[in-house]
Structure 1
Amino acid sequence: MRDFATPIACALALAASATLGALAPESTWAPQPVAPPARPARIVSLTLPADEIVLALVSPERVLALEAYVDDAQASNVVDEARAVRGRMHQPITAEAVIAARPDLVLLSGWSDPQLEALLGVQGVPVERVLSAQSLEGTRAQITRIGELLDERQRAREVIAAMDARIDAVRARGAARTWRPRVLLFSWSGHTPAEGTLFCELVDLAGGSCASTEAGLSGYAPLTIEHLLELDPDVIVTNRYRADGRARAVVPEPALEDDPRLRTLRAVREDRVVALPSAHLLATSHHVASLAEDLSRALDALEPAR
């Protein structure tokens, strides 16, 4: 234990020095990126989008550990597949816990603590940040990149082809749709996806239009109750999955019809509020195809009789 603790202590000291040095203009220290082996066999994935892609590309024997939310059926699309991997990393994830696993590749989320990445780099651990895709093209690029890292290029192409086949079927159905409803994803968090987001791209493919985009919003835009009443979308999609401030628990959300302010909305009055599977709504991996199909089926069911 003493031999292992010593390099960890050194890494912590170096990271602390780097943090303090950030206050001094002349300090430019940063760990050098470490290249992974040609075919990683001790993979640790610490972000759900990467978990879902990794499990589609490699055999479980090559995966040491996954982020613990992979077992949450409300967030994860690979609960069954993940059972073949024994290791889990629980938040807050520490460098010591990751290094102790002796990985040859670590996949981090875009929002992971930079100090964690620095500490892993000091210890010579290869790290790749996996950002949440904001478009289908971004999803394809993400799968391609992870396929390259894992030496599974052909399998990555197959996963993308299977996703695209499902997306193309949704696109064909959407192109034939005569009713083009204005759709909005509502959350009590006060934000909604708009132009430039994966959700709105999929709504368009399914034959709807994003009410938030039509209103000139972009990205994940703030949405007040007053603005929602003004937009008055034809269809409201709800995502009832909401973790607390530290992503530790699910906080239940009230139904829209329980709020007297929202009962006046067209979608509420005409029973066009749709609760879609939260794991599909949260996906940015190839499982976005499931959300595209959900949206297509929902618009089919809600389309007014001719």
Structure 2
Amino acid sequence: MPRPTTTGLLLLLAIGLAAIPAAAKPQRIVSLNLCADALVLRLADRADVQSVTWLARNPDNSVVAAEAATVPVNHGLAEEVAALRPDLVVVGAFTARTTVALLRRLGLPILELDVPDTIDGIRAQTRRVAAALGQVERGEGMVAAMDARLAAIRPPASHPLAVVLRPNGFTAGRGSLVDEILARAGARNLAAEQGLENYGQIPLETVALAGVRLLILNQAENRDPSLGEALLDHPILAALPDLRLVRVPSRLWTCAGPEVADAAALIAAAARQAEGAGP
């Protein structure tokens, strides 16, 4: 007997999905995006979450690794998602387009998230997801908690010059969420002052000559080194006596979510220490 094709399997699943009644509040939610995982797991009732991405269990990049440990995971395949008979699939702007297109063809409800580049955008997206999940009150609570953490930040008086260096020398300039995070932390952004828009690269010579006080790395303490970060061992950086390294775990700002408040607080604390004002 011949094995059914992928198209045949999807057709059978579509027939089954058509029999699922629409619900005012989704009760079979699947997430196909790491950043969506964080919102879904914190806003939805656990019983309503059918699956999140396998990335959600990685504590280096996920803020919900503990919550995801007991949730089934997926690898973004249309067949495995459709088999869960979801009544809402949350995807990101860069989620595999073939998968998203197939799920749309099946008539599945899709909530597609963009990538906020401002804190206002984070507020709006949190509320949008909360509304889609039927959890408006929880969404407001999450926004209020982020705003409280932002309000509690004590920026330094001197506003030290800072630069964020990611693997291969990439940094963030004007118009980026990182630039707003640095401003909230009370630090000046070298890349923005150099005229860089959004994201790009900055020469180490520029960093060395500008008098940067804070070199912010997108990594946690005690992380294994990588070739992409080899430039951070360059002698030109080691020769800067007043340079303070600040390590911000990727999970705090890989996604544009409420955790950026914690990233800003961490940078602000390092900035105060750099000016000798204490922790």
CA contact under 8 A between 2:122 and 2:258: conserved in structure 1?
yes
Tell me which amino acid in the other structure corresponds to 2:33: T
Of residues 73, 78, 83, the one that matches 1:95 is: 78
Residue 298 of structure 1 deviates from its aligned partner by 1.3
Partner of 2:267: 295
Structure 1 pair 117–270 and aligned structure 2 pair: CA distance change class (3 A): same
1:202 paired with 2:181, answer: yes
Return the TM-score normalized by structure 2: 0.85
Structure 1, residues 174-200: CA drift from partner, whole Å, max 9, x if none? Answer: 2xx321111111023332111112221
Q: CA RMSD in A?
A: 2.7
CA contact under 8 A between 1:193 and 1:200: conserved in structure 2?
yes
Deviant stretches of 4+, over 4 Å: 1-5, 250-257
Gaps of 5+ in 1: 12-35, 242-249
Partner of 1:134: 117
Structure 1 pair 116–179 and aligned structure 2 pair: CA distance change class (3 A): same
> Structure 1 CA distance, aligned partners of 2:177 and 2:184?
11
Structure 1 pair 189–10 and aligned structure 2 pair: CA distance change class (3 A): farther
Gaps of 5+ in 2: 14-21
Structure 1 pair 129–230 and aligned structure 2 pair: CA distance change class (3 A): farther
The number of aligned residues is 265
Of residues 175, 178, 182, the one that matches 2:161 is: 182
Of residues 49, 52, 66, the one that matches 2:52 is: 66
1:224 paired with 2:207, answer: no
Secondary structure in 1 aligned to 2:178? helix
Partner of 2:249: 277
Residue 260 of structure 1 deviates from its aligned partner by 2.3
Tell me which amino acid in the other structure corresponds to 2:235: P
> Structure 1 CA distance, aligned partners of 2:80 and 2:267?
40
Residue 113 of structure 1 deviates from its aligned partner by 2.6
Residue 279 of structure 1 deviates from its aligned partner by 1.2
Secondary structure in 2 aligned to 1:179? coil
Structure 1, residues 77-125: CA drift from partner, whole Å, max 9, x if none? Answer: 111122232x1112xx221121112111111111123222211011111
Alignment of 1:1-306 (within 5 A): 6=8, 8=10, 37-85=23-71, 87-90=72-75, 93-170=76-153, 173-174=154-155, 177-240=156-219, 251=226, 253-254=228-229, 258-264=233-239, 266=240, 269-304=241-276
> Structure 1 CA distance, aligned partners of 2:47 and 2:277?
52
Tell me which amino acid in the other structure corresponds to 1:129: E
CA contact under 8 A between 1:147 and 1:153: conserved in structure 2?
yes
> What is the identity percentage for the equivalent residue pairs of Structure 1 and Structure 2?
30
Tell me which amino acid in the other structure corresponds to 1:197: S
CA contact under 8 A between 1:53 and 1:286: conserved in structure 2?
no
Residue 283 of structure 1 deviates from its aligned partner by 3.2
Structure 1, residues 3-48: CA drift from partner, whole Å, max 9, x if none? Answer: 996252699xxxxxxxxxxxxxxxxxxxxxxxx7421111111112
